[in-house]
Amino acid sequence: MKHNDDAVLQFLTVYMTNTGLFKVPCCFAGCSSMDVLVPNTINALNGTTVKIPCTFTSCYKMDATKFAMNWTYQETRNDTEEMFMTYYKKKGMVALRSDRFGDRVMFAGNLDKNDLSITLSDVQLEDEGIYNCYVRNPPDRIQGQGVIHLTVVTELPPPRDSTIAVAIGASVGGALALLILSMVVVKCLRRHRKQELISEEKMEEEGKLEAEGVAEEETK
């Protein structure tokens, strides 16, 4: 009986997820539910402090005795990853000694909220590259990974002049409003003309009936 119940639950999970009716939480379906959430790219101004966010979702509450995570850096996908922050059961999140980052990396998240974000201060051009956020939260069976591409710029792009955009938007909005108004006027005119035609036809019909009645009276 238990085997049949599991088969039914698995079928419902797949069916309702694929059809979009609703999504059954993975923890009830017995599958992995790890999901790491990060931005794909981040632009940082040289010499400033940047936050590199990483959060994760799980059906299971974090267990400090089993939880594991690492932050790594690599210049390109073909380069070896350098671990610069990790999680210890007793110490929590700890920045590792790194010749590249020194003491410029700090934990800026909140483990109680599944937030593993970090900050990198005094950003240098050499910090540009790929930052990986690895998370393992048993009893989830797989390791989650988030990949962030950090780009370091020497100056921020100039603010966009919104005057032209506002002018174009106002012009388009005005034209659209005029078009809608024209359509309403045309529709009202057509409706009014239709009512006039109906009234004329009705008057003609009444006139015919009245003429026929007079003719009948004269024949009598």
Kindly report the pTM of this predicted structure.
0.60
Query: Dihedral sign, CA of 14, 20, 26, 28?
Result: negative
Contact between 131 and 52 under an 8 Å Cβ cutoff? The reply is: yes
Alpha helix (H) ranges present in 30-158? none
Annotate 149-207 with DSSP letters as a single string. Answer: EEEEESSPPPPP-HHHHHHHHHHHHHHHHHHHHHHHHHHHHHHHHHHHHHHHHHHHHHH
Mean pLDDT of 133-148: 94
Residue 15 has pLDDT above 50, yes or no: no
Q: Is the pLDDT of residue 135 over 70?
A: yes
Q: Domain 30-153 classified CATH 2.60.40.10?
A: yes
Mean pLDDT of 48-76: 95
Residue 103 in tokens: 């003491």
pLDDT for the residue 142: 87
Q: Where are the domains of the chain?
A: 30-153
Backbone angles phi, psi at 10, to 5 degrees: -65, -40
Residue 6 sits at φ, ψ, to 5 deg, of: -65, -40
Tell me, what DSSP letter sits at residue 47?
A: T
pLDDT tens column, 144-179: 999 999 999 998 767 665 555 555 555 656 666 566
**Distant-in-sequence, close-in-space partners of 45: CB < 8 Å, separation ≥ 6:** 123, 152, 153, 154, 155, 156
pLDDT of residue 108: 97
- Tell me the torsion sign for CA atoms 63, 64, 68, 72: positive
CB 60 within 8 A of CB 33: yes
